[in-house]
A and B are shown apart, each in its own frame.
Chain A
Amino acid sequence: MLTASSIAQIMVSGLLTGLIYALVAVGLSLIFGLMNVVNFAHGEFLMLAMYATFGLALGLALDPLVAVPIVMAALFVFGAAVYLGIVSYAMRARVNSGMVQIFSTFGLAILLRGLAQYFLTPNYRSIAHSWLGSRTFALGPIYVPAPQLVGALISIAAFFALWLLITRTDFGKAIEATREDADAVALVGISKNRVFALGWGLGAMLVGLAGAILASFYYIYPNVGGPFALIAYVTVALGGFGSVFGALAAGVIVGLVEALTAVILPSDLKEVGVYAVYLAVVLFRPRGLFGSI
C-alpha cells in the first residue's frame, strides 16, 4: 500500500544507497579518466575490502568504523601494486592492446574470486556486532538505519575531500595534467608512472572505503563484487567516464531508480530498471551525463 510516507521512505532509502553506489563507482571513473583503462577487477577490490573489514572485526574485534582507515590504507597499497605489477605492463602491449588491457584486469578479477572461494569458502559472512549495527534514526515517519546513513554521510565527505584534492593540491593538478597529456608531463618533471600508480591507489582506496562501509550491513561472499561491479559500470557510464561529479549524480540516480523499480516490479527484478537506464544512456548519449568522450 503506497502512502506518501512510504514513498518518502523508499526515496530516502534509495538516496542513501545511491550515495554509497556513487562512492563505489568514483574510483573506477577516476582511474578511467586518468588513463583510459577500465579496471575490470573493481568489484573484486570491493570484495577484498569487505573481507578485510570482516577479518578485522573477527580477529581484532575492531568496529568497522575504526577499521575504515586501515582498510583504506591497505587498498591504496594494493591498488598501486596492481598498477605497477600488472597494468603498467598491460599498457605497454603494442599487439592486441585492447584485448590485453581488458583481460589483464579481468583475469585478475577471476583470480581474486577464485582465491577468495578457495581460502575463504563461498559461505556468506556478516559482521554480527558493530557500533552502528542495529541503530536506526527516525526522521519523522521515516526510519533510517544508522549504517546506511553514516555511510552516505561518509560518502559525501569523501566526495568533498576528493574535490578538494583535485582542485586545491599539487597532486590534483598533476592528475589533471597527466590526464590531459600523459606524455608531455615528463617535460614539467611529473613522472607519469608515479601519477598513474598513485591514481590507482586513490581509486582503490575510495572503493576500499565503500567496502568497509558496506561490510557493516551487507553480506560478504566471494562473488559479491559481481553485482556491485555492474552497478559501478552502469553508474560510471551514466555519469560519464572520467567525471567525478558525474559519478556522484549518477550514483544517486541509480539508487533512486533501483528503489523505485523495487516498488513496481518484484524485488528480484529491481536491477532491471537500472540496466534499462544504462541501455537508454548507451543508445542516446553514449558519453553519459557529464562525460567528455
Chain B
Amino acid sequence: MSETLLELRGVTRRFGGLAATDDVSFALAPGELVGLIGPNGAGKSTLFNLIAGALLPSAGTIRFEGEDVTALPAPARCARGIARTFQVVRSFDSMSVLENVVVGALARVANPRAARHKAHEILDFVELASRAERPAGELTMADKRRLEVAREPRLLLLDEVMTGLTPSEAQRGIDLVRAIRKRGIAILMVEHVMEIVMPLVDRAIVLDLGRVLASGRPDALVRDPAVIGAYLGQRRSSSVGHAPGA
C-alpha cells in the first residue's frame, strides 16, 4: 500500500479572475483523520468540491493512490474510493434506508445480492440496522447524516456534518467518525465547529483566502499567531473567539 492516499500539488481553481483555491498542496496518508478549517470564504467548499470531482481544477494535479485523477469526474472518483457528503443532507427518499446504502455499495460490488449483504453490514456499523426497511425520508436529520456515511470508501470527505446536531447527537457523530477511522478509512472533514474538530483530528489544514495558511497538529495550530489572526480578522466568525488551548 502506498504511503500517500491523496496528494494535491499546486491545485488552483479560478472563477473569472478570482482564485478561490490558490496553489494548494498537501498529502493524506491512509487512515489519517484530517480537518480542513479556516474562516468564512477561505475556500474550503471549493477545495472540497475539487477533491470530490464536482469541480475540476484550473491548474495543478490531484493524485489518489498514486493515480492521477485530476481529470476524472465525480462518479469515476467514487468508483476509485472517494466518497463525499453534502452540506444539506441528501437521501433517496422514495427508497428504504437499506436500498439507499445498496446504491452506493453497487459502485464497489457488481451484483445486487452481494451489495445487499454489504449494505446490511454497513447499516449495522452505523447503527441504523433497525431502520433498514423504513423509507429514508422518515429519518431524523441526525440519522440521515449517519446514512450518508454508510459507505466503504478509502477516503471519506465530510462536509460540515456536525452542523445542526444536538450535543448528544454530535457526541454520537464523533464516535462514529472515530469508528470509521478505525476501519482504516481516511477522513477529510470540513468543519466550522472547532470544539468538535480540534480534539478529533490527527492534524488540520488551515485555509485562508484560498491558500494553505498552516498545517499541523491541532494543539500547535491554535497557538499559531497567523491562524489566530486569520480568524479574528473575520468580522463574522461562527465559533472561534475564545483563547487557545481550549
Contact = CB atoms under 8 A, between A and B. Distances in A.
- Are A and B part of the same complex? yes
Contacts of A96: 94
Interface in A82-109: 94-96
A96 B137 CA distance: 12
Contacts of A95: 93-94
Contacts of B137: 94
A95 B137 CA distance: 9
A76 B111 CA distance: 56
Contacts of A94: 93, 137
Nearest to A95: B94
Contacts of B94: 95-96
Main secondary structure of the interface of B (DSSP, over half): loop
A95 B94 CA distance: 7
B93 to A, nearest CB: 7
A96 B135 CA distance: 13
5 contacts: A94-B93, A94-B137, A95-B93, A95-B94, A96-B94
A: contact size bracket: under 10
Interface of B: 93-94, 137
Nearest 5 A/B pairs, CB to CB: A95-B94, A94-B137, A96-B94, A94-B93, A95-B93
A96 B94 CA distance: 8
A94 B138 CA distance: 11
A38 B93 CA distance: 23
A32 to B, nearest CB: 24
A156 B115 CA distance: 61
A94 B94 CA distance: 9
Interface string A24-38: 000000000000000
B27 to A, nearest CB: 40
A213 B211 CA distance: 62
A89 to B, nearest CB: 19
A133 B94 CA distance: 56
Nearest to B94: A95
A97 to B, nearest CB: 10
A77 to B, nearest CB: 36
B23 to A, nearest CB: 33
Interface string A239-276: 00000000000000000000000000000000000000
Contacts of B93: 94-95
A149 B94 CA distance: 53
A100 to B, nearest CB: 12
A94 B135 CA distance: 12
A183 to B, nearest CB: 14
A99 to B, nearest CB: 11
Interface in A161-196: none
A185 to B, nearest CB: 21
A96 B92 CA distance: 11
A248 to B, nearest CB: 30
A94 B28 CA distance: 41
Nearest to A96: B94
A68 B137 CA distance: 48
A153 B125 CA distance: 70
A45 to B, nearest CB: 32
A286 to B, nearest CB: 19
